[in-house]
Amino acid sequence: MGRVNSRLAKLHRSYDVAELAQLLGVHKHTVRSWLKDGLPVVDGTRPVLIHGDEFQVWLAKRTKSKKCPLKLGQLYCVKCREGKRPALEMVEYVPLNDTTGNLKAMCETCGSMMHRRVRRTAISAVMPKIDVQITQASPSIGVRTTPSLNTDKLAED
């Protein structure tokens, strides 16, 4: 999809799906997919009406979140479809190997489990001011029993 000029939508006007599509030069399906993506509509109208100013705000936010998906201290929530702070500032780090692991936390908004892959050395940079709990991924005895050749290979990843 090309760049959409949201300024074409007038602030104090409402549009139905076809009008907005025509105005912006996009397909009606595109506008419908925006509605599914959370584009706000005017309450209780049939057909659905979209406020020009709400459309502008929504599109700006969406464009921005695509450019910079995660801020410091955030993990990506699949349900909210944006970066969210961990509930109660509780974050767990589950190592995948010696250098990398997954941060796990609950979304402050919806309570879904969120994940973010980070290097172990980057934890404090990615989650500033948050006391990240480091978890042992699996009992170390289990890891040690694997043939040393394989372990070396994994560590290089």
Task: Write down the least CB distance from residue 112 to Zn ion, Å.
Answer: 5
Q: Which stretch binds Zn ion (CB under 5 A): 20-28, 41-49, 106-114, 131-139?
A: 106-114
Cα→Cα distances 11→14, 57, 108, Å: 8, 10, 32
Residues 6 or more apart whose Cβ sits within 8 Å of residue 93: 101, 102, 103, 104, 118, 120, 123, 132, 133, 134, 135
Residue 42 touching Zn ion (CB under 5 A): no
Closer residue to Zn ion in complex, CB, 14/74? 74
Quote the CA–CA distance of 93 and 115 in Å, as a whole number: 10
Task: Write down the least CB distance from residue 133 to Zn ion, Å.
Answer: 20
Using CB under 5 A, pick the residue from 110, 122, 154, 155 that binds Zn ion.
110
Supply 113's token pair. 């489990």
Supply 132's token pair. 């990240």
Closer residue to Zn ion in complex, CB, 81/119? 81
For 94, the 3-state DSSP assignment is strand
Residue 106 touching Zn ion (CB under 5 A): no
Task: Write down the least CB distance from residue 113 to Zn ion, Å.
Answer: 9
Question: What mask, x for binding Zn ion by CB under 5 A, covers residues 61 to 100?
Answer: ----------------x-xx--------------------
Task: Write down the least CB distance from residue 106 to Zn ion, Å.
Answer: 9
Residues 6 or more apart whose Cβ sits within 8 Å of residue 4: 24, 26, 59
Q: Which amino acid is at 106?
A: M
Binding residues (CB under 5 A) for Zn ion: these are: 77, 79-80, 107, 109-110, 112
